[in-house]
Amino acid sequence: SPAARPRHTLAELTRWLTDMRAGAPGSVRRVPLRDTERAGWVRTADAIARPDGGGAFAVIGARVEADNREVTSWSQPLLEPTGTAVHAFLATRLDGVLHVLVQAYEEAGSLNGPELAPTVQCLPGERSRYLDEVVSAPAARVHYDVLQSEEGGRFHRAESRNMLVEAPEGFPVEQPPEYRWATLDQLARITRFGHHVNIQARTLLACLPSTW
């Protein structure tokens, strides 16, 4: 029907993301390992971490031995999280069409600035907009809630809590400038372009069709 339309067109979403990237103040600066203490980190014999366990992660040294790889042993750094991250989409039907609330989110390693991210992308120890909305949601509104292991070649025993949560009745349709409603089809189309939809959003997007 004519009313069953996305809240924003695909062109509007991509133009909004371009505008968010143009206005992003973020910058990346390399810090040599020898200078980490001046940046507020503490170095020990086998780790570089924030004082008192603060921050989202520590960098640890690992010695790996394996008889089924190209080499039998090697040493490498790993990121060790200080807790469990939360990644969640809030979803609702607008004009009869299922939408999820995405945000323009920039993180370390983003090549082109902010990317489309879940409604909540919260590192350990952080507070994020709508975090309470998803973690305190009643079971009837939680369509998916799973602990997922992160890639073990770079992260040491890291897990993220991935959630798909139905927005409550009366949840505001109008959102802050860094948020937009998008349909599953729109996100799938934008995913075809590199560095537009981040890995956390893509992971949740893969689970959506079977849970709604």
pTM above 0.85, yes or no: yes
Contacts of 91 (CB under 8 A, 6+ apart): 98, 99, 100, 101, 143, 164, 165, 166, 167, 208, 212
Domains observed in the chain: 10-27+83-210 (3.90.79.40), 33-81 (no CATH)
Ranges in the chain, pLDDT < 50: 1-2
pLDDT for the residue 119: 99
User: Which helix (H) or strand (E) segment is 52 a member of?
Assistant: none
C-alpha distances (whole Å) from 171 to each of 89, 97, 134, 143 are 14, 16, 12, 17
pLDDT for the residue 1: 44
pLDDT for the residue 146: 97
What distance in Å separates the CA atoms of residue 62 and residue 77, rounded to the nearest whole number? 6
